[in-house]
Structure 1
Amino acid sequence: MSFVWLHLDALTAGLTLLLALVCWRQWLVRYKPPIRRLALFALVLGPTWVAVRMGAHLLANLCQALERLMTHTFAYDFQFYSLMLMGVVFMGLSLRMLQQAQLLSQGRSRAARPFCHAAGTLVALSAPTFFLTPTGLLPTLACLIAGLGLLFLYKPVRQMA
């Protein structure tokens, strides 16, 4: 188990790329959208990264809590509550972004607004945590990558003909 904890960052990075590539490829093959492929990958990569990292965050905090529970040193306090709540909220927002990205890959341009709302909420919640820890800015950067993907997603009408 110590191998997993030592290499958790590399494992989550690899899992993120694998899941993003699988979703991207499946959506391209299934829907055959008239969109830019690299932009769709950026649109998928940002929320996938946040979802995988928040899943690892929740798992790590839960495992630490279980270890403390077994040694009778666990205390349910505001720090544990806030860390778990942050993980659940960030993961929920990133999964909402992935859901809207799938609709965008189907050519439903109305999904852009809910995608932007979820990304904006994620940025508003994660950016202020930068002052507590520098890694708090990473979900904001992931939303920036996804936003750039959304900006360049659709081909101009003259290129579709």
Structure 2
Amino acid sequence: MVQFRTIDLKKDRQCIIDFRKDSFMVSFGNTSGFDANAYLFYVLEKVEQYPDGFVMAQVDGGVIGQLELSVKKYKGRKIGYIHLFYLIPSERGKGMGKALHNYAIDFFKKRNLEEFHLRVAPDNHRARQFYEKAGMKTIGPDLDGKVIRMKGSVTKSI
């Protein structure tokens, strides 16, 4: 069973850097836009604001993934936002993504939100298939076409 705990920067520092770098590689094919120190500062701020949104996913005490969840404004309304949805490569395709997705849905429900968004690289077909299977819809390109913005309904657990 997947368990979630708040990111502990002392304990998880290298792990979250490695996960974020891997997400850059999967999304963009390189890590050229990644700044580890800026990322750590960002996570430090967000953990204070959303301790139940910036979490590590664990199975039997071993870290298998990471979620970064918050609330943002989009076109004048509040939405949930998934900044990072990450599973280690060995756990992808094994159903663990459902646990992360359902955790995110619960996070957004607690905040009385109706929809959430995320961004995914156009060439990350595996992630896009997962998100579509979870009921998410493509809104369109974002960040000058570097990524695709998708939206989901908070009522759709998987």
TM, length-normalised to structure 1: 0.25
- Structure label with greater radius of gyration: 1
TM, length-normalised to structure 2: 0.26
Higher share of residues assigned helix? 1
Could you say which structure has the greater relative contact order, defined with CA pairs below 8 angstroms and 6 or more residues apart? 1
